[in-house]
Amino acid sequence: MLSEVLLVSAPGKVILHGEHAVVHGKVALAVALNLRTFLRLQPHSNGQVCLNLPNIGIKRAWDVARLQLQDTSFLGRGDASAPAAELAERLKEVAGLPEDCADPERAAVLAFLYLYLCICRKQRALPSLDITVWSELPAGAGLGSSASYSVCMAAALLTTCEEIPNPLGDGKSTSRWSAEALELINKWAFQGERMIHGDPSGVDNAVSTWGGALRYQQGKISPLKRLPALKILLTNTKVPRSTKALVAGVRNRLLKELIDMNQHQLNALGVGHALLDQLCQVTMAHGLHSKLTGAGGGGCGITLLRPDLEQPEIEAVKQALHSCGFDCWETSISAPGVSVHAPASLDASMRRALDGL
């Protein structure tokens, strides 16, 4: 097992089209967002495994010897054969979570423990680790924050347990894993996502693993090689939503003009929201086109920015969106996938966040 500190990051995502159709076997177009989740893993020998999530104010620790004595045979071999709900209930007992545990904490803890116990149990003894995760992505906003969390966790644990090699060579500031290693990271990240969402499509963890832009259909992933450089406005309506509930709702109910048509169809499926409609109206008044991204029901929307758009025009749209009470970022898409970093490659504020300061 490796003994050095690992710094890993993975991007969020936006879905250009197909956010609900993908669950039913249709095509989704997903792109990596250049807002990322960062993870710091520090091996130690204090007999505990600690999880620190400063974004949501969670810090938990477990005695490694106690975890070692738990019967974890119900986890199987990390495949998708057991129902996610059944695994989650058993893991809640192992984690010692109270019945009234809030959803963000429950989901984050269960995904972590699942990956930790499944990946690390091949070791002679479960390792003592200190893990901190900090994200630039708002949770529950349709930007793949849970997938980037699962991808970072899977990549760090697999590397620490030497299931995959650490690609960061001497003198390098940032590196990425081989295609074979990325396949394994993606496989485990999907299992982490099952603990959080129940029945995810797999598209979020795929785009967070590989980055760039992907065409995704029925588990088959095809990279898009020639996606033009696209700038977007990313707007958070601040309306919380649940991917699991919205995906189930669609199942039970069974760029420009295409963007507008796609948004209308998503509204017809019942996954829109009045504030997402307001976002579309505000940007339409400035000649721009917007749609929700992710499960819908609130969360975030994206607005495509034409290459010929002048900065004063962009600032006017951002000001109009801020006046509605929305958070808004001018950003871009097609970011690199999961990566490992040298400490010096991260800015000082990020290092402080990961050091728990």
The domain that holds 259 is classified in CATH as 3.30.70.890
Give how many domains the chain has, as a whole number: 2
CA gap 66, 56 in Å, rounded? 26
Asked whether residue 197 falls in the same domain as residue 281, the answer is no
For position 79, what pLDDT does the model report? 61
For position 155, what pLDDT does the model report? 98
Asked whether residue 153 falls in the same domain as residue 206, the answer is yes
Nearest in space to 133 (alpha carbons), one of 10, 13, 2: 10
Q: Is the pLDDT of residue 242 over 80?
A: no
**Has residue 25 been placed in a domain?**
yes
Q: Is the pLDDT of residue 357 over 90?
A: no
What mean pLDDT, rounded, does the chain reach? 84
pTM for the model stands at 0.84
Instruction: State the DSSP code for 333.
Output: B
Asked whether residue 20 falls in the same domain as residue 97, the answer is yes
- Annotated catalytic residue, options 135, 150, 201, 204: 204
Which of residues 272 and 173 earns the better pLDDT score?
A: 173
Asked whether residue 14 falls in the same domain as residue 161, the answer is yes
Which of residues 162 and 264 earns the better pLDDT score?
A: 162
Q: What would you measure as the largest C-alpha separation in the chain, in angstroms?
A: 62
Nearest in space to 111 (alpha carbons), one of 141, 128, 125, 131: 131
Asked whether residue 254 falls in the same domain as residue 116, the answer is no
The count of other CB atoms within 10 Å of the CB of residue 199 is: 15
**Has residue 62 been placed in a domain?**
yes
> What pLDDT, in 10s, does the model give residues 183-238?
999 999 999 999 988 888 788 899 999 999 998 887 788 888 877 668 899 998 87
**Has residue 44 been placed in a domain?**
yes
For position 269, what pLDDT does the model report? 41
Asked whether residue 286 falls in the same domain as residue 305, the answer is yes
Asked whether residue 172 falls in the same domain as residue 242, the answer is no
For position 15, what pLDDT does the model report? 82
- Is 204 noted as a catalytic residue in this protein? yes
What is the CB-side half-sphere exposure of residue 221 using CA atoms within 13 A? Answer: 22
- Annotated catalytic residue, options 135, 145, 146, 290: 146
253 confidence band (pLDDT: 50, 70, 90): very low
Asked whether residue 238 falls in the same domain as residue 140, the answer is no
**Has residue 238 been placed in a domain?**
yes
- Is 146 noted as a catalytic residue in this protein? yes
Residue 200 and residue 295 in contact, taking contact as beta carbons nearer than 8 Å: no
Nearest in space to 38 (alpha carbons), one of 3, 4, 7: 7
CA gap 40, 129 in Å, rounded? 10
**Has residue 1 been placed in a domain?**
no
Instruction: State the DSSP code for 58.
Output: E
Asked whether residue 272 falls in the same domain as residue 161, the answer is no
The domain that holds 46 is classified in CATH as 3.30.230.10
Backbone dihedral region for residue 299 (phi beyond 0: left; psi -120 to 50: alpha; all else: beta): left
> What pLDDT, in 10s, does the model give residues 297-347?
566 888 989 888 999 999 999 999 999 999 998 988 889 999 999 998 998
Asked whether residue 194 falls in the same domain as residue 316, the answer is no
For position 22, what pLDDT does the model report? 67
> What pLDDT, in 10s, does the model give residues 151-173?
999 999 999 999 999 999 878 99
> What pLDDT, in 10s, does the model give residues 76-118?
766 656 677 888 888 888 888 887 777 888 889 999 999 999 9
Asked whether residue 73 falls in the same domain as residue 184, the answer is yes
Domain limits for position 18: 6-222+336-355
Asked whether residue 117 falls in the same domain as residue 15, the answer is yes
CA gap 333, 124 in Å, rounded? 42
